[in-house]
């Protein structure tokens, strides 16, 4: 909980990890810990688990908490640790958020409740209840309308930010870039905003965004982290070059439903034990595998970016 009292220090590339499973479908906490170590060695500025890339809706509450515990142990307060705690059910969301709090998470990433398609007033009351239940835990709204079928309006975000001290930010996973801008404008640029859309990560920094929670960091963590670092030091040429170098990696992620392609590559690279995804997701098809291989080769420039500091990657699976 090193960063819990200063959420404004949660900046840069916060890597939203896949949840590894064994070949028979159990949560693989050994591989999860190895991924955390690789992210830290690669220069990621923070780690997030339990977001969409982590397949939370395919796990039990107990499994999600076990993954949280493994992640918290591996991170060990070295970088900010954000945990996805949202669910379609309020009681599960509260249980998961309590677990995140107890395990020392620096912030809870709470997705808009999916399937029900609540009104803006319903969303306001949902987040108010979660935030009031955990007044000492920073709450980050997670807006991802492509998965939840509901878009939290900028006005609702601003209302929550004004009314609740611990609603500190939002992860924007919408291609409507005006949404980013209006959220910042309505909160007088005080709310913390992270991009969850890979190709909007760099543009968001120009508006005052705090960084990104980009699935591309699963495959090219050093490149994603250094894109932020380059922007911050004013080296916009390098930041743009890395942005464009990452295009094939981004395209790879969505050859078929995320995170199946990412897990395929991570398994092939020996970073997780199995590419297993849980139903209703399925393994990448033969045609998809061919396309993934092409894009992985095309993304060699992003893959070749070395960590900014020579921390070494030896034994990341040990």
Q: How far apart are CA 26 and CA 42, in angstroms?
A: 27
Residue 264 lies in a domain: no
User: Annotated catalytic, 142?
Assistant: yes
Sign of the alpha-carbon dihedral angle for 96, 77, 166, 205 = negative
pLDDT confidence tier of residue 309, bands split at 50, 70 and 90: low
Decide: residue 123, CB within 10 A, 0-12 exposed, 13-18 middle, 19+ buried: buried
List, for residues 12-28, the tens digit of each pLDDT value: 999 999 999 999 999 99
pTM above 0.85, yes or no: yes
163: pLDDT strictly greater than 90: yes
Identify the pLDDT of residue 314. 38
List, for residues 124-135, the tens digit of each pLDDT value: 999 999 999 999
Rg (CA), the chain: 18
Among 3, 142, 161, 228, which one carries the catalytic annotation? 142
Q: What is the mean pLDDT of residues 242-263?
A: 98
Q: How far apart are CA 293 and CA 48, in angstroms?
A: 27
List, for residues 205-231, the tens digit of each pLDDT value: 999 999 999 999 999 999 999 999 999
Q: How far apart are CA 239 and CA 269, in angstroms?
A: 26
pLDDT confidence tier of residue 1, bands split at 50, 70 and 90: confident
Q: Which domain holds residue 214?
A: 11-235
Asked whether 142 and 112 are in contact (CB, 8 A), the reply is: yes
Count of residues making up the chain: 318
Residue 198 lies in a domain: yes
Q: What is the mean pLDDT of residues 252-281?
A: 98
Q: What is the mean pLDDT of residues 139-164?
A: 97
Residue 179 lies in a domain: yes
Residue 164 lies in a domain: yes
Identify the pLDDT of residue 294. 98
Residue 271 lies in a domain: no
User: Annotated catalytic, 171?
Assistant: yes
Q: How far apart are CA 32 and CA 75, in angstroms?
A: 11
Identify the pLDDT of residue 239. 98
Percent of the chain with pLDDT over 90: 96
Asked whether 43 and 308 are in contact (CB, 8 A), the reply is: yes
SS (HEC) of 273-304? CCCCCCCCCCCCCHHHHHHHHHHHHHCHHHHC
User: How many H-runs (helices) and E-runs (strands) does the chain carry?
Assistant: 14, 8
Average pLDDT along the chain? 95
Identify the pLDDT of residue 316. 38
Residue 306 lies in a domain: no
Identify the pLDDT of residue 310. 46
List, for residues 63-94, the tens digit of each pLDDT value: 999 999 999 999 999 999 999 999 999 999 99
Number of domain units in the chain: 1
Q: What distances in angstroms separate CA 188 from CA 8, 86, 181, 184, 246, one per listed residue?
A: 15, 27, 10, 6, 31
Among 3, 124, 171, 228, which one carries the catalytic annotation? 171
Sign of the alpha-carbon dihedral angle for 270, 271, 274, 275 = negative
Q: Residue 155: helix, strand or coil by DSSP?
A: helix
Asked whether 247 and 209 are in contact (CB, 8 A), the reply is: no
Phi, psi (5° rounding) for residue 137?
-115, 120
- Domain harbouring 206, CATH code: 3.20.20.70
Residue 75 lies in a domain: yes
Vertex 160 angle, CA 157 and 162, to 5°: 110
Residue 48 lies in a domain: yes
pLDDT confidence tier of residue 312, bands split at 50, 70 and 90: very low
180: pLDDT strictly greater than 50: yes
Decide: residue 270, CB within 10 A, 0-12 exposed, 13-18 middle, 19+ buried: exposed
116: pLDDT strictly greater than 50: yes
């Amino acid at each position: 909980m090193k960063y819990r009292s200063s959420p404004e220090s949660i900046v840069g590339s916060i890597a939203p990890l896949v949840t590894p499973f064994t070949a028979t479908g159990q949560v693989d906490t050994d591989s999860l810990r190895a991924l955390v170590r690789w992210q830290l060695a690669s220069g990621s500025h923070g780690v997030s688990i339990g977001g969409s890339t982590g397949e939370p809706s395919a796990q039990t509450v107990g499994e999600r908490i076990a993954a949280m515990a493994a992640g918290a142990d591996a991170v060990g307060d070295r970088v900010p640790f954000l945990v996805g705690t949202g669910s379609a059910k309020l009681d599960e969301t509260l249980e998961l958020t309590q677990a995140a709090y107890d395990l020392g998470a620096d912030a809870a990433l709470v997705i808009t409740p999916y399937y029900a398609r609540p009104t803006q007033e319903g969303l306001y009351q949902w987040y108010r209840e979660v935030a009031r239940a955990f007044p000492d835990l920073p709450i980050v709204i997670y807006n991802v309308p492509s998965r939840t079928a509901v878009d939290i309006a900028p006005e609702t975000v601003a209302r929550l930010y004004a009314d609740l001290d611990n609603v500190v930010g939002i992860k924007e996973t919408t291609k409507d870039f005006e949404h980013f801008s209006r959220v910042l404008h309505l909160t007088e640029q005080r709310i913390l905003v992270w991009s969850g859309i890979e190709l909007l990560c760099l543009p968001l920094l120009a508006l005052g965004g705090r960084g990104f929670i980009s699935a591309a960091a699963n495959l090219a963590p050093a490149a994603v982290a250094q894109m932020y670092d380059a922007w911050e030091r004013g080296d916009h040429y390098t930041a743009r070059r890395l942005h464009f170098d990452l295009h094939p990696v981004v395209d790879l992620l969505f050859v078929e439903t995320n995170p199946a392609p990412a897990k395929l590559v991570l398994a092939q690279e020996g970073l997780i034990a199995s590419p297993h995804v849980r139903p209703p997701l399925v393994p990448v098809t033969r045609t998809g595998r061919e396309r993934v291989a092409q894009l992985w080769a095309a993304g060699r420039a992003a893959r070749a970016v070395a960590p900014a500091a020579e921390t070494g990657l030896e034994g990341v699976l040990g």
